[in-house]
Each structure stands twice: as structure tokens, then as C-alpha cells.
């Protein structure tokens, strides 16, 4: 039997609670993530594998320029930043492009579930994956004798601003990638090249040409702000306001790009 | 009040008109087919009716409300179902999971098991979507369209890619929905689908409606030329046959007329007088496909 149409009032209807709907939607987002175990393990385990490789090859090496900290102590904050960037930027943007090109975004848009609920669930799911990566990195780091953040409040602030920035950039970049085939290669190649030049794999000397260029990018700024909050490096403050400011500006660029270019329908259509 | 009312609808992208001056109504409980070549504006029209796309001009009412009105859009979407032209189902969920998720968006959804049965996927209910065949995925797509128990169902080429038995099963489902009072607006390229399902049909060509009516009357189909054919009796010359310009091909006589009663009367009288049986005697009207092709000839 069909429901009898009553006079439409406002944008709501009885029977479906919005907050329950967010919970359900997050559940299905998580389900979708974990039902693809290869993708989930690769996303979450990638930084751990990197850390294991670096630890096994670097031994007891230290970095003089950063107050003589162990190399592994340098990598852990960097890979915490990587966890934020990979889940909020590369995984999110590739997922969004794939969903758009498969018509999944269009189908969801045509359902009665409000856009804010659908998008909130995507962001909450991204945050969950991100937090899992951060916690895993801290635990693995601790196993190698790496201490956690020396200053938790600046660390958490950097995490929150980093999540905002890279989620916004992930959404924004998804709007300029034309098709699903291009999404993985284009996003990952750009992402990993910028990571390499921003000091994820080796320290970049402040004031060098490379540092002067990558200082304009949020990737370097997030890595540096993580280092500062973790390591109490002499001459640096755990409150990396300048870094966080640059990251926030890039987040605003991502929001602008998303609002200007967002589309629910496949580009091929 | 019609379920869908479209009056002088226009949609353009820059200088390019996707839809021009389109007007039609779909009555409640009706199955309405929108025909037209690729790029004629069918999907754009449907997307405007769904509230997915804004229009550039004209008036549109879907279930009594303007689909572009944000204030009533959510209300409207609880009452419509949509089956998209492209297959759009998440690959990692099971059939039951994806239907259960979407059922949660609606205030009065159909029971998930009922939908699984309606789309004939009982055996595959717990199988991942990516393991289904293309036809089974298409059926699931239809299932997602009806899970909300819609009053109005939009089907954009719902049987494209299905095998003949899958098409028949989909037709049965659409008939069942229509019989229970669901209004159906579908687009298709298959003329047999229109003849099997549609109460009314409109042809979109170059962004405009060029003809509309019932499948049996559109384009003057009910009053136009008919073809009469029969097997040529032995020993009879084609010039003896009392019909306008008869032709013979592989022993079959064909003649076309717009006055079939008179021609049939003369022909059968002539045959009875001479004792001929006229085996295979048949009268055929111009097919819907012929009408469609003539209406959209420039494009073909």
C-alpha cells in the first residue's frame, strides 16, 4: 500500500529521526570501509609498514639539526601527520570521485536523507579511520620507545585543524578529477611527491630552497606542527600558530573549491 | 490533480537548449513513457521532475509540489522512487544490507524481504553486490527504487542490459506496481516495452515533444495506412488481385490502404467467388517503431 500524500510541511517528515539516521549512515560507511579488507588494511597499515622499514634500516641514527632526537622519534609524528592526510585527503577524494562516477552520490542525493546527514556520515567515518591511524601510530611508536606528544593540547589542535584542512582539500580535489580511472593515479602521485618534498621521509633543513617552497604547502606545515608538539625541539614552540594558520587557509581553499565545483552527478553523464 | 504536470518546461546550459517548451501531464496510476533518441532531453526532463536539476523556465508540479522548492524537497523524496539510467549500487554490501540501509531513509518503507522477493533475488539476498550478474544488479537497482514504497516511480531505461527473461520479469513488476496504484514515468528505447506497459507515450526529439498520445494512436497510428497481406493463390496473377497496387515477394502479396474495410470487402468477396482461401491473411497497422522513426527521422 502506498502512503497517502498529506500536505507537505517544511522540509521534515515524521518517522525518521535525523540523529539516528546519522548513526545508521556512519555504521554503513564503516561497513563499506571494512567490507573491502584489502583497501582497509592498506589504508591503515601503510604507515606502520613504513615505520617498521625505517626503524629496521635507521638503527640508532639521530638528527643533529633537531636537537639530536632519534630518527624514529622524527618519523612517528610525521606518520601521524601522514595518517591524517592519507585518510582525510587521498582516501576521501578517491572515494568521492569513485562514488560520483558510479552514480552513488546521485542516488543518495535523490533519497530523502538530507545532504548534511549524508556528508556528516562521510566526514565522521573519515575521522574514525584517521583516529585509528593516529592511535596505531602512537602505539607502534611506543613499542619502539618513541614518546607521545610532549604537549597534548597543541597536538590535538593540530590534529583537528589538519583533519579540517585535508578533508576540505580532499573534497575540493575530488571536484577537479574528471573520472574514476584518473582518481587513484593522479591523487596518489601528487600526494606522495609532495610528501617526499615536505620532509616525511627525511628532514628538510629550514631555510633551504625546498623548505622555502614547501613552507607554502599544508603538508609540510602539518608535519612540522606535529614535530613541534611531539618533540620539544629547542628553539621551537609546541604552539605552531603560523603553521596552523597556513593549514587553515588551505582548508578554506578546499571549502571554496568544493562549494564552487561540487556536483552529485557523474561527469561522464 | 495529475501526479506530474509539466507546462512549457525549458532547460538550457548556456546557449544550448536541453529541453524546450515541453508540456505533458501524467495522471495518477498511469504508466507514462517518454521516448526519444539519445540526447533528446529525456533524462534532463526526468531529473527536473525529481528535483535533481533546476529548470530554466516553465512550470512543473510533481505530486502537487514544485520539485525545485527546497522546503518541500525532502517530503517529495519520501514519496518518489528513482531508478537511474546508470547502475548505481555499492559493490561491497550484500543485497539485504544495501536495501536495509536505503529503507532507513523513508518513513514507511516496504519490508526488505518483500522487495527482495519482488525483484526475484531471494537466492542472492546475502550475496555481495559485486558478485551479482549485470542483470541481477539492475534488478537490485529497481529494488532500491521501490524500497520507499513510492507513489510515483521514475524509471530511466530500466531494462537496458537485461536478458529477455529479465525484461519480462521487470515488466511484470512494473505492471504489479501500476496495478497497486503507483504512477510510473519511464524512459526507454524499446518500442515493445512501450506497447507492453505504457498507457500514454510522448516522443521527445531535439529537446521538444513532437507527438504524444496512447501507444495505439500516437502519430495517427490508429487512423493511418494499414498493410494487408496473404499468400498468393496458385494460378493467380498479381494483376488479377482487386487491391490498390499489390506487390508480391516470395509468394506473399502486400497492399497498403487507408480504407481497409473497403479493400478487405472487395478482396474477400473476390476470393469467395473464386474459391480461394487467402492463406495467411493479415492486416497490420504501421508499427510504433515506424511512427517513432518517422517522428525522429532527421536524427536517424
Q: Are B212 and B134 in the same domain?
A: yes
**Per-residue three-class SS string for chain A:** CCCCCCCCCCCCCCCCCHHHHHHHHHHHHHHHHHCCHHHHHHHHHHHHHHHHHHHHHHCCCEEHHHCCEEHHHHHHHHHHHHHHHHHHHHHHHHHHHHHHHHCHHHHHHCCCCCHHHHHHHHHHHHHHHHHHHHHHHHHHHHHCCCCCCCCHHHHHHHHHHHHHHHHHHHHHHHCCCCCHHHHHHHHHHHHHHHHHHCCCCCCCCCCCHHHHHHCCCHHHHHHHHHHHHHHCCCCCCCCCHHHHHHHHHHHHHHHHHHHHHCCCCCCCC
pTM: 0.83
Residue B300 lies in a domain: no
Task: Give the whole-angstrom CA distance, residue B102 versus residue B255.
Answer: 56
Give contacts of B50 with chain A, Cβ < 8 Å.
110
Q: Are B120 and B214 in the same domain?
A: yes
**pLDDT over threshold 60, residue A217:** yes
Picking from A182-186, A258-262, B113-117, which range would have the lowest pLDDT averaged per residue?
A182-186
Q: Do A2 and B87 touch (CB under 8 A)?
A: no
Give the domain-ending residue among B220, B253, B284: B220
Residue B68 lies in a domain: yes
Q: Are B91 and B31 in the same domain?
A: yes
Which band of pLDDT confidence, cut at 50, 70 and 90, is reported for residue B65? very high
Q: Are B213 and B71 in the same domain?
A: yes
Residue B45 lies in a domain: yes
How does strand B31-35 pair with strand B183-187? Answer: parallel
ipTM of the complex model: 0.83
What is the pLDDT at residue A10? 44
Residue of higher predicted confidence among A58 and A118: A118
What is the pLDDT at residue B172? 92
Q: Are B142 and B242 in the same domain?
A: no
Nearest to B182 among A2, A12, A114 (CB): A2
Task: Give the whole-angstrom CA distance, residue B78 versus residue A9.
Answer: 13
Nearest to A110 among B50, B65, B151 (CB): B50
Task: Give the whole-angstrom CA distance, residue B243 versus residue B234.
Answer: 17
Residue of higher predicted confidence among A228 and B122: B122
Task: Give the whole-angstrom CA distance, residue A192 versus residue A102.
Answer: 26
Structural domain for B243, as ranges: 226-294
pLDDT, tens only, A130-181: 999 999 999 998 888 888 888 889 899 999 999 999 999 999 999 999 888 8
Which band of pLDDT confidence, cut at 50, 70 and 90, is reported for residue A5? very low
Task: Give the whole-angstrom CA distance, residue A90 versus residue A81.
Answer: 13
| Share above pLDDT 90 across residues of chain A, in percent, rounded to a whole number | 46
Residue to substitute from A6, A8, A262, interface B, most B β-carbons within 10 A: A8
Q: Are B139 and B236 in the same domain?
A: no
Q: Do B88 and A264 touch (CB under 8 A)?
A: no
Contact A72, A54 (CB under 8 A): yes
Instruction: With both helix axes pointing from N to C terminus, report the angle between A180-197 and A92-102 in degrees, rounded to the nearest 10.
Output: 170
Q: Are B123 and B202 in the same domain?
A: yes
- Which residues sit opposite B12 in a β-bridge? B17
Nearest to A112 among B77, B87, B89 (CB): B77
What is the pLDDT at residue A235? 67
**pLDDT over threshold 50, residue B227:** yes
For residue B80, give the 3-state DSSP assignment: strand
Q: Report the CATH number that the domain containing residue B50 is assigned in CATH.
A: 3.40.50.300
Give contacts of B85 with chain A, Cβ < 8 Å.
269
Task: Give the whole-angstrom CA distance, residue B157 versus residue B82.
Answer: 11
What is the pLDDT at residue A2? 41
Residue B144 lies in a domain: yes
Which band of pLDDT confidence, cut at 50, 70 and 90, is reported for residue B77? very high
Q: Are B199 and B236 in the same domain?
A: no
Structurally, how many domains does chain B consist of? Answer: 2
**pLDDT over threshold 60, residue B300:** no
Which band of pLDDT confidence, cut at 50, 70 and 90, is reported for residue B202? very high
Amino acid at each position: 500500500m502506498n502512503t497517502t500524500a498529506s500536505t507537505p510541511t517544511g522540509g521534515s517528515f515524521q518517522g525518521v529521526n535525523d540523529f539516528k539516521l546519522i548513526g545508521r549512515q556512519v555504521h554503513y560507511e564503516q561497513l563499506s570501509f571494512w567490507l573491502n579488507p584489502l583497501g582497509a588494511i592498506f589504508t591503515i597499515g601503510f604507515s606502520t609498514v613504513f615505520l617498521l622499514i625505517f626503524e629496521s634500516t635507521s638503527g640508532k641514527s639521530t638528527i643533529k639539526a633537531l636537537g639530536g632526537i632519534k630518527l624514529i622519534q622524527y618519523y612517528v609524528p610525521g606518520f601521524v601527520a601522514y595518517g591524517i592526510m592519507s585518510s582525510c585527503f587521498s582516501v576521501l577524494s578517491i572515494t568521492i570521485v569513485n562514488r560520483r562516477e558510479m552514480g552513488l552520490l546521485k542516488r543518495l542525493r535523490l533519497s530523502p536523507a538530507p545532504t548534511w546527514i549524508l556528508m556528516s556520515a562521510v566526514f565522521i567515518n573519515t575521522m574514525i579511520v584517521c583516529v585509528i591511524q593516529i592511535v596505531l601510530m602512537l602505539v607502534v611508536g611506543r613499542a619502539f620507545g618513541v614518546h607521545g606528544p610532549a604537549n597534548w593540547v597543541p597536538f590535538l589542535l593540530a590534529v583537528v585543524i589538519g583533519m579540517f584542512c585535508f578533508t576540505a582539500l580532499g573534497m575540493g580535489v575530488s571536484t577537479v578529477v574528471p573520472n574514476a580511472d584518473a582518481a587513484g593515479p593522479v591523487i596518489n602521485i601528487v600526494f606522495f611527491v609532495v610528501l617526499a618534498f615536505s620532509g616525511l621521509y627525511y628532514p628538510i633543513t629550514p631555510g633551504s630552497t625546498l623548505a622555502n617552497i614547501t613552507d607554502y604547502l599544508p603538508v609540510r606545515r602539518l608535519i612540522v606542527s606535529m614535530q613541534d608538539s611531539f618533540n620539544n625541539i629547542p628553539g621551537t614552540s609546541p604552539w605552531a600558530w603560523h603553521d596552523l594558520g597556513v593549514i587553515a587557509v588551505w582548508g578554506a581553499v578546499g571549502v571554496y573549491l568544493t562549494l564552487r565545483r561540487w556536483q552529485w552527478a557523474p561527469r561522464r553523464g | 490533480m495529475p501526479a506530474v504536470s509539466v507546462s512549457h518546461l525549458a532547460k538550457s546550459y548556456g546557449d544550448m537548449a536541453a529541453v524546450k517548451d515541453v508540456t505533458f501531464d501524467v495522471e495518477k496510476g498511469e504508466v507514462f513513457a517518454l521516448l526519444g533518441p539519445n540526447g533528446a532531453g529525456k533524462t534532463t526532463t526526468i531529473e527536473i521532475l525529481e528535483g535533481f536539476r533546476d529548470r530554466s523556465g516553465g512550470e512543473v508540479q510533481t505530486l502537487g509540489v514544485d520539485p525545485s522548492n527546497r522546503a518541500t524537497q525532502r517530503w517529495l523524496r519520501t514519496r518518489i522512487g528513482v531508478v537511474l539510467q546508470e547502475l548505481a549500487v555499492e559493490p561491497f554490501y550484500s543485497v539485504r544490507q544495501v536495501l536495509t540501509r536505503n529503507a532507513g531513509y523513508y518513513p514507511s518503507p516496504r519490508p526488505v524481504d518483500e522487495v527482495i522477493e519482488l525483484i526475484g533475488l531471494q537466492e542472492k539476498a546475502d550475496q555481495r553486490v559485486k558478485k551479482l550478474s549485470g542483470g541481477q544488479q539492475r534488478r537490485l537497482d529497481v529494488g532500491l527504487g521501490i524500497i520507499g514504497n513510492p507513489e510515483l516511480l521514475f524509471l530511466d531505461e530500466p531494462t537496458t542490459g537485461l536478458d529477455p527473461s529479465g525484461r519480462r520479469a521487470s515488466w511484470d513488476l512494473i505492471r504489479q506496481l501500476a496495478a497497486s496504484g503507483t504512477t510510473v514515468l519511464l524512459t526507454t528505447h524499446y518500442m515493445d516495452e512501450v506497447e507492453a506497459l505504457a498507457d500514454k507515450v510522448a516522443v521527445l526529439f531535439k529537446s521538444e515533444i513532437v507527438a504524444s498520445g496512447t501507444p495505439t494512436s500516437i502519430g495517427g497510428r490508429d487512423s493511418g495506412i494499414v498493410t494487408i497481406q496473404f499468400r498468393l493463390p496458385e494460378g493467380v496473377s498479381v494483376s488479377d488481385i482487386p487491391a490498390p497496387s499489390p506487390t508480391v515477394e516470395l509468394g506473399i502479396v502486400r497492399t497498403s490502404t487507408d480504407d481497409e474495410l473497403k479493400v478487405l470487402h472487395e478482396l474477400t468477396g473476390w476470393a469467395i467467388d473464386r474459391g480461394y482461401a487467402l492463406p495467411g491473411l493479415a492486416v497490420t497497422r504501421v508499427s510504433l517503431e515506424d511512427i517513432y522513426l518517422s517522428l525522429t527521422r532527421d536524427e536517424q
